[in-house]
Amino acid sequence: MTEQDGLRMYDYSASCNCYKVRLLLAQLRLPYERVPIDIFDGETLTDEYARVNPSRTTPVLETGDGRYLPESNAILLYLAKGTPYLPDEAFELAEVVRWLLYEQTDVVPTMGGLRFRLLVGRLKPSDPDAIRRREGAADVLRLLDDHLASRDFFVGGRYTIADIAVYGYSHLAHEAGIDIQPYPDLRAWFERVEQQPGYIEDVEPYGANAVPGAGRSLYD
């Protein structure tokens, strides 16, 4: 029995933060129990969930020995250690961490936050916050496209969790009303990611209770 026997994942199917973890688990062919958490039905607001994750977010990975690990990119690091999806060499490892941080600070709030808010009617495209996020997304997509102009993958010339992290929200940028035609190197990289062994795409649409006022969540 190892730590990676008996894995359990607290998961919201429409979340790309959760999807990133589901993708890596599929590529590692690791069995796990999926615990569906409806974040818009108050399921992260209970005392019980606070014991799983005091930040009340998904995803959370529960290890076979009963420890809880929140934060999607921390989970990617944990699962990828010792596999081809995480380099060992110090500089490459640090570069992976660089992209995991950049994804959270720049990719998620721009295109990810915009997509969620537009799809569920929490913003209109002309709202100042939508404009700010769309302009931010354009800067981020330009930077990603430039980085990929001379590389097949984000770090070390091979597919790693840096690619998984950045792919999570960027591959659905079009659902935030963003035209991705101006980013050909990014589009070519999407195709390379989609050809990786074990690739899945199972992001589900947001439920009707994600509309403001329809459910109970951290966003209401």
Ligand X SMILES: N[C@@H](CCC(=O)N[C@@H](CS)C(=O)NCC(=O)O)C(=O)O
> What is the contact surface with ligand X in residues (CB under 6 A)?
12, 15, 17, 39, 44, 56-59, 71-73, 104, 217-219
Tokens 């615990």 — which residue? 35
Please identify, using beta-carbon distances, which residue of 146 and 201 lies nearer to ligand X: 201
Please identify, using beta-carbon distances, which residue of 73 and 160 lies nearer to ligand X: 73
Please identify, using beta-carbon distances, which residue of 145 and 165 lies nearer to ligand X: 165
Please identify, using beta-carbon distances, which residue of 100 and 178 lies nearer to ligand X: 100
| Least distance CB 69 / ligand X (angstroms) | 10
| Least distance CB 50 / ligand X (angstroms) | 11
User: DSSP character for 217?
Assistant: S
| Least distance CB 42 / ligand X (angstroms) | 8
| Least distance CB 220 / ligand X (angstroms) | 9
Residue 22 burial (CB count, 10 A): 22
Tell me the three state secondary structure of residue 155: strand
